[in-house]
Structure 1
Amino acid sequence: MRSLLWLSLGMALVMSSRMAVGQEEQAPAQTQFGDTVQDGWLFSDQLTGRSGEAFGAQLRAGVLTGPGIGRDVSIFPVEIMPYAFAGKGMFFGDIRGFRANSDQWGANVGGGFRYHSEQLDRIFGANAYFDYDNSSGALFRQVGFGLETLGELWDMRANVYLPHGVTDRLISINFVPGSEHFVGHQILFDQVRVIGSALTGLDMELVTPLPGRVMQRHDVRVAGGWYHYQGQELDGFAGWKARIQGNLLPSVQMQLEVANDHIFNTTVVFGATWTYGGYRQPETERRSQFSRMTEAVRRNYNLVVAKTSVLDPDQVAINPLTGDPYFVEHVASYAPIPGADGTFEHPWQTVNQAQTDPAFAPSIAAA
C-alpha cells in the first residue's frame, strides 16, 4: 500500500514538472522575413543569409569556356556578393576575380541597389562596376553601368561598358615563317604585330522561363539579345546572342550561349556556376519575386577586346649583342668578278675577296 502511494506521488510530480516546462517554453523568434532563428551564429547561417537575416553574403564559383565575345580563352570566376536589406530594398556589393587558362587574370568590383515592388511583384535594380582585365594578353580597364528588372514572366537587362585609359595596346609580335631573305648586306624578314583594342559597348537581353512542371522545377529559362561595340580604330558593329540556362541542382546552374557578329564570328560558350548562400524565401510565405533579390548580376566578366593583325614587311635583322644590323658578305663561285661588292645581288667569287673588303668584319659570310 505504501509503495503504491509513493508511486502515485512520483507520477504527480513528473506530470506537474512537464506542465511547468510547457508553460515556460516560448515560440521561436521570427525574423522580418518569417524564418525561424536557430540558436547560435553558425546554426542561423547569418554569414550567408540563408536563414532570412537582413544581411548576408552569397558565394559563387564557376567556369565559362572560350572563345567568347571579345575573348579567346576560358575563364574561371570566383566571387562574393555581400548584401543588406532595407525594407523592400537591398544594397549589395560584388567582388569578382577570374583566372584564364592562359594564366592571365581579371577582376570586377562593384555594387548596386535592388527594389521589390509588391504591387507589380517585380524587382528593379541598378549597378556600377570597375573592371580590370589582362586575359587578352594586355592590361585594360573600364567602368560599366547596368539596369535590370526581374519578374515572373520576363526579365530584362542592359549594360554599358566604357573603357578608359589606354585602349589600344600591343599584345604580341610574331615572326612570319619563310619570310626571311637577303637584300644587299642585310637580312630582312616580315613580322606581324597583334594590336588589342578595348571596345566601348552596350548589350541588352530579354529572358523568359519555359513552361512545364519539369522546366519550372529546374528554373529553365531562355534569353535573346543583341550587342553593339566600337573602338577608336574599329567601326561600330552589332551582333546577336541567345542562351538557355537551368539549375541542374538548386545550387548549380548550367548555361549554353551562342553569339554571332562579323568581327568575332560565331562563338559558343558553355558555363556552370555553383552558388552558396543568398536569401531564400521561407516555405511558409507566398512565393514572390522577392526570393530572387540576391540573384547574380549578369554582365561581362572580361573586357571585350578586338585583335587586329598588322603586317610589317622587310624588317632588318639586328644583332642583339651590338644593336647593329647583321652585315653579311655574300660569296658565289659562279659569280662574275666585274661589279662584285659582296652584296646578295653582286657576290664575291672567293672568300679571300670577301675578307679584303674594307667593310668586312668577322660577322657572317654567306656562300
Structure 2
Amino acid sequence: MKNFLLFLAILAMTAAPAAAVAQNAPYPGAYSGPAFDPYASPEALGQQMGPQQVPFPQQMLPQNGYTQQIPPMPGGINWNSFMAPIGVTPRAGVGGLFGEDVGLGEGYGWSQAFMPLFQTPGMNLTYVDVQALKYFQQTDAFGYNAALGHRWFNVARQRVYGVYASYDYQNTGDFDFNQVSFGFESLGQLWDVRANGYLVLGDQEQLVSVENLQYQQNNLVGTANYLDAYSGFDAEIGRNLTPKYPFAALRIFAGVYGFYASNGDDLIGARGRVEATLWDRVIVGGSIQCDPEYNTTANGTISILFGGGGSGQCDCPTIASRLGDPLHKNRHVVLGDRQENFVALNPTDNQPLQFLHIDSNAAAGGTGTFEAPLNTLTDPAASTDIVLLHAGSLFTGQAITLGADGQRLLGDSAAIRHTAATQFGNVPLPRANALSASPQIDLAPGGGPASSGPGAVTIAANNVEVSGLTITRPQGDGIYGNAVTGVNINRNTISAALDDGVDLDGNVSGQIRNNTVSAGVGGSADGLELETFTDGVIDSNTAIANGGYGFRTASFTGGQFTNNTATANTTGGFLFTNASGGTISNNMATGNGADGFAVDNFTGGEFSTNTASGNGVFGFRLGNLAGGQFNNNTSSGNGSFGFRVSNASGGLFSNNTATGATIAGFDFSLIQGTAVIDANTASANTGNGFNLNNGFDTGTFSNNIANNNTGQGYINTLDPVGATPRTVTNNTGAGNAGGDTFNGP
C-alpha cells in the first residue's frame, strides 16, 4: 500500500505543474518547476524545484546524511513515513540461465538465499549469498556458491559500493573443480560498474579420455582430451535507461573478460548485456559474448525473488535501496575442452614406449617398426618395452628370450585386448591388424622331457609379462624361467609340450592367471610346475590331460593359489610337496589318475573350499598335517578315499565332507600332538565313514558325523578311549550299515 501511495504521490507531484498552469492558481507551497528525480537527495530536489518552493524546511533524517526533514504533503501524505530506514531483510530466489556462456556449454538452474548479517539500515550491509546450481547438460552435474560481501552507501557521491569474496564449486558428473572469486561494485542511479576476479584452486585440468591410439614407427601415439578450468576476470559498465521510473529499471551493460588456463588457449572477449528489474522481484536479462575460442554465444536469464527484497532505505526505491541488490558474477567455473596429441611414455622412466613388431607374414628385411615388422622371432634389445607378435602369425621352430626387466611379450588377437601403462594410466593397445587368431609358436626347440629350459619363451629377467600366445608342441617347456620375480603369465594356451607347459624354477613370485595347458607328453609333463612360490597369485588356470600332474609345486610359502582346475591329468590334479603359508582355495580336481589333491607336508597357511571329484584313488592325500587350517574341502566319488592323512600332528582339520569313497570317507593313520580333527562329515560312502589306524595317543577327535555309510561309521583299531590322554567327544553316526558309534567310549 505504501508503494502504491508513493507512486500516486509522485504522479501528483509531476502532474501538479500542469494543473497549476491550467488553473493559474497553484496551491500554497505547490511545486511548479520541472519534473524532479525521485532518486535525488533533498538538497538536489531543492535545486531542481527552486529556492521558493523547497518543500523540506526542516532537518532530514541523519541516517541518510541529509540535513532537512520533509513536511506533510498536500493530501496528508507524510514523506517521513516513506523515508524511515527499514533495512535489508532476508530473501530467497530461484532462477535459470538458458543458452551458452563463456566456458559453459549449456545453462543451469539455481536456488538462492540472501541473508543480511550486520547492517546500519540505509547506510551499510554485511551479507551472505548462497546459491545451489543444477546444470542442464548433464543430469548429475551440480555446483554451489557461497559469498560473503559488504556494501556501503556513500551519501556525498550518492552511490553504493561493495566488495565480496566467494567460494565456488562445480561437479561435472565426472570431475570436481573449485575456485575463489572476488570483486568490486559501484552502483548508482544512472551508472553501474563491476569487476570480478576468479582463481581456480587445485587441479586446473582433468583428463577426460584418450583416443585415436595407433602405432607409429616403434611408438604408440594418440590424442588426449582434457577439461581445463580457467582463472580470469570480467568487468562491465552499465547505464540505467529508465531513471525516472522508481519501480522498474532497464539497464544495458558493456564489458570485457579474460580467462586463462595453464595449458589451454586464452579466452579474451567482449560482452553485451541487458537487464530489466521489476518491483525488485523479477529480474530478466540476456547477454551476448564473443571471443576467438567460443566465437559468439548468447543466453537469457530470469530470476524470481521472494521475501523481504532489497529495499534498504524505505519502501520506495532509492539509491540506498541497492544495498540489497543481487550479487552479479559468474556462478559457474569457466571450463574449456582441449585436445593434445601425444607419444605414449613409459611411466617408470618417462621415455617413449618402445615397441618391437614381429609378423611372420611380413616381407623380409623389416626393421621391427609397425610399418616394417620383423618376420621371425628375435630376442629384443634391452631398450624394448613391448614385443608385439601380430595376429595370424605362425613361427615354426623358433623361440624367444626376454632378457630385460619389465619387458612384455604380447600376442595380438581379436579375443584378447592388451593395455599399456602410460603417462595417462593404463590405455588399451590398438590392434596390429584385422586378423583374428593369436600368434602361434610351434615346435620350438628345447631340452626335451624332464629338462630345465629353455622354453619356447624363456623369461630371463624380473617383472616380465607373457600374454596372449598359442604355443604348440614345444620340444621342452612352453614357458620357462629361473629365479624370477614379478612374473606375469596370463591368457596363454600351451599344448603337447614334451616337458612342462609352464616351468618356473627357483624362488618365484608374481601372477599366473587364465592360462590353459593341455596334453603334455609323458609322465614328467606337468601343466604348471613351480619350484618355490613365495608371493603373488596363481588364479583361474586350467590343466587338462597332461602326462604328469596338472599343477605341481615343490614349495608354496605365500600368496594365493585359487580357482584353478585340473582335469584328466594322468598322475594327479594338484601336488604340493610342501605348503607352509598362503592360501590354497576354491580349486577343483576332476577325473585325474590318482590324486585329486596331494600335500606331502602341510605346516601352515590355509587349505580350504577345494573340491575333488571322480579321481582315481584319493580325493585329498595328506602326508603330514603339522599346522595351519585344512577346512571346508569337499570330496565326492573318488576311487578309494575321500581324505587320507598319514600323520596328523598339529593344525586344524575341520568341516570337510567326504561322500562316495569305496574304502573310507576319512582315513587317519596317526593322530597325535596338537592335531584337532573336528566337525567333519562322512556320508554315503560305500566303505567306512572314518578309519582311525595305528596310533591315536594325543590330539582331539570331536564333533564328527558319520551317516549312511555302507560300512561302519567309525573304525577304531586303537586302545580304548581313556587309556591315553587323547580327547574324543561328541562324535555321532546314523544309518551306517556296520554300526554308528565310535569304538571305545
Tell me the TM-score normalised to structure 2 length. 0.35
Give the alignment partner of residue 90 of structure 1, picking from 122, 125, 138: 125
Where does residue 129 of structure 1 map in the other structure?
Answer: 166
Q: Please say if 1:205 is aligned against 2:236.
A: yes
Task: Label 1:212 to 1:115 Cα distance change in 2 as closer, same or farther (>3 A).
Answer: closer
Amino acid at match of 1:353: L
The offset of 1:288, in angstroms, is: 1.5
Q: Please say if 1:245 is aligned against 2:278.
A: no
| CA distance in 1: counterparts of 2:146 and 2:329, whole angstroms | 12
| CA distance in 2: counterparts of 1:79 and 1:86, whole angstroms | 23
Unaligned runs of 5+ in 1: 1-31, 34-51, 317-324
Asked if 2 retains the 8 angstrom alpha-carbon contact of 1:193 and 1:312, the reply is no
SS in 1 for 2:320: helix
Asked if 2 retains the 8 angstrom alpha-carbon contact of 1:191 and 1:315, the reply is no
Give the alignment partner of residue 164 of structure 1, picking from 196, 201, 205: 201
Give the alignment partner of residue 106 of structure 2, picking from 73, 89, 93: 73
Where does residue 303 of structure 2 map in the other structure?
Answer: 273
| Aligned Cα root-mean-square deviation (Å) | 4.1
Structure 1 residues 144-223: aligned runs within 5 Å: 144-166=181-203, 168-176=204-212, 180=214, 190-199=222-231, 201-211=232-242, 218-223=248-253
Asked if 2 retains the 8 angstrom alpha-carbon contact of 1:58 and 1:294, the reply is no
Q: Please say if 1:364 is aligned against 2:389.
A: no
The offset of 1:55, in angstroms, is: 5.8
Structure 1 residues 1-367: aligned runs within 5 Å: 54=87, 56-83=89-116, 84-87=118-121, 88-101=123-136, 102=138, 103-135=140-172, 138-166=175-203, 168-176=204-212, 180=214, 190-199=222-231, 201-211=232-242, 218-233=248-263, 238-247=268-277, 251-279=281-309, 281=311, 287-313=317-343, 330=359, 332=361, 345=373, 353-354=394-395, 357-358=398-399, 364=413, 367=435
| CA distance in 1: counterparts of 2:129 and 2:199, whole angstroms | 19
Task: Label 1:237 to 1:328 Cα distance change in 2 as closer, same or farther (>3 A).
Answer: closer
Task: Label 1:363 to 1:110 Cα distance change in 2 as closer, same or farther (>3 A).
Answer: same
The offset of 1:171, in angstroms, is: 3.5
The offset of 1:282, in angstroms, is: 9.9
Amino acid at match of 2:302: A
| CA distance in 2: counterparts of 1:338 and 1:156, whole angstroms | 73
| CA distance in 2: counterparts of 1:352 and 1:196, whole angstroms | 44
What percentage of aligned pairs have identical amino acids?
20
Unaligned runs of 5+ in 2: 1-62, 65-84, 347-353, 377-390, 401-408, 415-432, 436-745
Tell me the TM-score normalised to structure 1 length. 0.67
Give a deviation string over 1:104-137, Cα, whole Å, max 9, x none: 2222112111122344432111111122223495
| CA distance in 1: counterparts of 2:367 and 2:193, whole angstroms | 76
The offset of 1:273, in angstroms, is: 1.2
| CA distance in 2: counterparts of 1:352 and 1:225, whole angstroms | 65
- Stretch deviating more after TM superposition (102-111 or 64-73): 64-73
Larger Rg: 2
Asked if 1 retains the 8 angstrom alpha-carbon contact of 2:89 and 2:310, the reply is no
Give a deviation string over 1:328-360, Cα, whole Å, max 9, x none: 97565xx6689899x874558x96834655359
Task: Label 1:336 to 1:237 Cα distance change in 2 as closer, same or farther (>3 A).
Answer: closer
| CA distance in 2: counterparts of 1:255 and 1:56, whole angstroms | 24
Give a deviation string over 1:2-35, Cα, whole Å, max 9, x none: xxxxxxxxxxxxxxxxxxxxxxxxxxxxxx99xx
Task: Label 1:327 to 1:273 Cα distance change in 2 as closer, same or farther (>3 A).
Answer: farther
Amino acid at match of 2:106: V
| CA distance in 2: counterparts of 1:248 and 1:331, whole angstroms | 79
| CA distance in 2: counterparts of 1:159 and 1:95, whole angstroms | 17
Asked if 1 retains the 8 angstrom alpha-carbon contact of 2:149 and 2:164, the reply is yes
SS in 1 for 2:104: coil
SS in 1 for 2:180: strand
Asked if 1 retains the 8 angstrom alpha-carbon contact of 2:360 and 2:395, the reply is yes
The offset of 1:362, in angstroms, is: 7.2
SS in 2 for 1:69: coil
Where does residue 735 of structure 2 map in the other structure?
Answer: none
Where does residue 4 of structure 1 map in the other structure?
Answer: none
The offset of 1:244, in angstroms, is: 0.9
Task: Label 1:226 to 1:298 Cα distance change in 2 as closer, same or farther (>3 A).
Answer: same
| CA distance in 1: counterparts of 2:251 and 2:366, whole angstroms | 79
| CA distance in 2: counterparts of 1:354 and 1:198, whole angstroms | 54
Where does residue 53 of structure 2 map in the other structure?
Answer: none
| CA distance in 1: counterparts of 2:191 and 2:364, whole angstroms | 85
| CA distance in 2: counterparts of 1:183 and 1:235, whole angstroms | 31
